[in-house]
Structure formats: structure tokens, C-alpha cells
Amino acid sequence: MGREIERKFLVRDMSVVAGIPGVAFRQGYLSTEPERAVRVRRAGEGAFVTIKGISGPSGASRAEFEYPIPAEDADIMLDELALRPLIEKTRYRVEAGGRIWEIDVFAGANDGLVVAEVELPAEDAAVVVPAWAGAEVTGDARYFNANLVAHPYRDWA
């Protein structure tokens, strides 16, 4: 079974992505039930469908299955089937503390939100948090992409 283990942090210093090329993401959800989320994603020229299970107690680990699909199929699903609003973001990959961090700069309904994620081999793996990272939001469900559809960042108080 596929498993995703990651921790998530806000980003307080955007200079970390200066000069780094980003990849445009467009993604939508076909299901955002608490027990499972089904996501369709365009990442640059690639396209994928992903099924994610419920998060564990720490919010850092859950079942994940991802499969490539034809880009044309993804575009149709995003345009005709996905819940609104779609998640739009640019992703930057940065090495820090011996790990690859993915920094997502959101646009559209979630403009202004910037989150960094680091994937881990185990929930208890040590993480050196870089100086550009802010508060940890791993267990805060508001920051799950599936929840940003129902409650976009622009609507937060």
C-alpha cells in the first residue's frame, strides 16, 4: 500500500524561491469525503489521479495511491467534473537540511497562502526546519488542499 508521510509549514520568507523555476499546478477534487479524497492534477505537462485516505492522529501520515493519466482526460475532469474552486498553485522544489521541500504558492481563491511540505520516510523522522519556514500546520485540516476547495483561504477571517 502507498503511504504519504509529510509535515507542512507556512513560509515566512519568499526569497527562498527567488530564481528557482516553478511548475504550474491545476488540481481539482472529485471527492472530498473525510475517509477519502480523489484528486485530479495537471502538473506542468503531466497529469495524475490520486486517491488519499484519512489522516492518522498526527495528521502526517495517510494512505496514498497516484497514477498517471492522459492529460486530455485530466483537463476534461477538471473542467467538467471537479468541485469548485479548483486549486491553482506554483510549486517550487528546494533542498534544505538534507531533504527536498516543496513550496506551494497558491493563486486564485487561495491567493496569499504559501505552504512548504517535506516528505519523510517515517513519522518520527528528524526534520531540520529551515529559517525561511514559519509555523507548523501539519495537523491543521484547514491547510489540506481538499479543504481549501470548500473553505478557500480568501474567506478565512
Tell me the residue length of the chain: 157
Instruction: Examine residue 121 and say whether the peptide bond preceding it is cis (omega within 30 degrees of 0).
Output: no
How far apart (Å, rounded) are the C-alpha atoms in residues 157 and 147? 15
Q: What is the gyration radius of the CA atoms in the chain, in angstroms?
A: 15
Whether pLDDT at 110 is above 80:
yes
| Structural domains of the chain, ranges and CATH numbers in brackets | 3-155 (2.40.320.10)
* pLDDT score, position 56: 62
Residue 137 · residue 8 · CB < 8 Å: yes
| Stated pTM of the model | 0.91
Q: What beta strand segments (E) does the chain contain?
A: 3-11, 23-31, 36-43, 46-53, 61-68, 87-96, 99-107, 114-119, 133-136
pLDDT tens profile 32-64:
988 889 999 999 999 999 998 876 655 567 788
Percent of the chain at pLDDT above 70? Answer: 96
Model confidence over 140-155: pLDDT tens digits?
999 999 999 999 999 9
Rounded mean pLDDT of 12-30?
97
Catalytic site includes residue 29: yes
4 — pLDDT class (breaks 50, 70, 90): confident
